[in-house]
Structure 1
Amino acid sequence: MRKLTRTLGVLCLVFGAYQAAFAATSASLPLWPGVNSAQLAAQAPVHWVSVAQIENSLTDRPPMAIGFDIDDTVLFSSAGFWRGQKEFSPGSQAYLSNPAFWEKMNNGWDEFSIPKEVARSLIAMHVRRGDSIYFITGRSPTKTETVSRVLQENFLIPASSMNPVIFAGDRPDQNTKIQWIKEKDIRIFYGDADADITAAREAGIRGIRILRASNSTYRPLPQAGKFGEEVIVNSEY
């Protein structure tokens, strides 16, 4: 009986301590923290632009070559990357170095990618201007690819404006997009990643940021506007 009483006493002490700790945690995390007008009005000092403002800035300029990154810029392609990680390297990024993954991603899995609305607006604007459209991606090249067809069909790009996708690869020691930007004489490059903006700047052209969707599998999310570049409003989708 004494042992039972002692055991019950210990359990009561442990339970009481747990309740106290839980109560303290709950007290520090209110259910309705509220918000004030200053917090709602707070904005980062970013150079925001709209598609209309970009178009206006090109008034009276002749047709030119325009470049786009693909993943998280014109396509929300996280579905394919999510599936690739689960199939080829659960819990790690090793799948990104697996040629078998890129074969699938570049040859069919973009059928599950969602075209971004900001890309529809931008590409339509550049097609109206008569610009030549290039897509330069950090994806690894494969012997065959259906990405060019998917992009042309999704964004209604006429053959006269469309160029085959350039698979620049993702070398950690070199930003190969720079050489393609220079080789194709691209004058504006759109991208979601820091490397897209720095590539444009190093090539001496205008780099414009498109926001990466907050539910993208490509983490961490970049700090848009950190280089003082233009950032397109409402471009996360």
Structure 2
Amino acid sequence: MSLLKKDIILKAPLLVTLVGLSALFSYATHADPKTPGTHSGYTTAEMLANGIPSDLRMIDVSDIQKELKDKPPIAVGFDIDDTTLFSSPVFYRGQQMFSPNGYEYLSNQKFWDKANCGWDAFSMPKSIAKQLITMHQDRGDDIYFITGRTSSPCHFTTDYLQKTFHIKKMNEVIFAGASRTVYTKTQYIKAHKIKIYYGDSDGDIISARHAGAEGIRVMRAANSSYKPLPKNGLYGERILRNSQY
């Protein structure tokens, strides 16, 4: 470890350090600094404190439902962490167990096996995900979950999502993994001909666009353990109102 990294860790143990930033790529698809935003964007915390800026493209589930009315079923995709589930309890526990005050746990297969094979029972379903999934199921749309998590040899998360959201036709969760150079979710969004992909991270929006789909932003909860909070609207994407819950 370089002296710079050591100095940052010593001075700011609770902040995202250089080591932490590297490890966090295992938590969600990365946002490429070479893909600049087209808008300043606003974090969920800023929007809660100051109100919704008029220059954001806010929509409701009903708006999407109206747009899709009388159209044939489509395939839609969902990110998991901070989009479908509020899973901060899982990641908080993992950090405390495997690398207190650090982010090395995100590179530890033992953590991912715990998270994917049982700990998701402590993840809370987001209200916005319930609304979206109900709407898409009523339309007969195919639903896919594509996550940047590292995979594990179990099916707990798939079963948990199916039971929690009462999904009739459940597809296995796709563990796309993470990369600092490639948008790993793009190939799966494209392969399954997904038209709309819902996600909270910048990488989710970009991955969808690279696959020819629309990326719709789900607001990351202000108290999420995944920091820093992304800037909603950074790419001019549409944002689901009240989707932090």
Interval of TM-score (by shorter of Structure 1 and Structure 2): 0.7 to 0.9
2:218 is aligned with 1:210: yes
Distance in 1 (alpha carbons) for counterparts of 2:124 and 2:151: 21
SS of 1:211's equivalent in the other structure is coil
Report the TM-score when normalising by structure 2. 0.78
For 1:1-237, what aligned pairs fall within 5 Å after superposition?
43-158=53-168, 160=169, 162-237=170-245
Task: Give the drift of 1:145.
Answer: 2.9
Change (3 A) 1:54 1:93: same
Report the TM-score when normalising by structure 1. 0.81
Q: Larger Rg: 1 or 2? A: 1
Task: Give the drift of 1:45.
Answer: 1.2
SS of 1:48's equivalent in the other structure is strand
Change (3 A) 1:88 1:127: same
| Cα displacement string for residues 148-171 of structure 1 (whole angstroms, at most 9, x for unaligned residues) | 11101110111x3x2110000111
Task: Give the drift of 1:118.
Answer: 0.4
User: Which letter does structure 1 place at the counterpart of 2:215?
Assistant: G
Distance in 2 (alpha carbons) for counterparts of 1:40 and 1:102: 37
Structure number with higher relative contact order (C-alpha < 8 Å, ≥ 6 residues apart): 2
Task: Give the drift of 1:199.
Answer: 0.4
Change (3 A) 1:144 1:48: same
Root-mean-square deviation over aligned CA pairs:
1.3
Aligned to 2:16: none
Distance in 2 (alpha carbons) for counterparts of 1:209 and 1:103: 28
Aligned to 1:8: none
Distance in 2 (alpha carbons) for counterparts of 1:42 and 1:133: 30
| Cα displacement string for residues 117-162 of structure 1 (whole angstroms, at most 9, x for unaligned residues) | 000000000000000110000000111130011101110111x3x2
SS of 2:182's equivalent in the other structure is coil
Change (3 A) 1:231 1:125: same
Change (3 A) 1:222 1:44: farther
Change (3 A) 1:40 1:187: closer
Return 5+ residue gaps in structure 1 as ranges. 1-38
Change (3 A) 1:59 1:80: same
Task: Give the drift of 1:92.
Answer: 1.1
Task: Give the drift of 1:44.
Answer: 4.9
Change (3 A) 1:143 1:53: same
Q: Percent identity?
A: 51
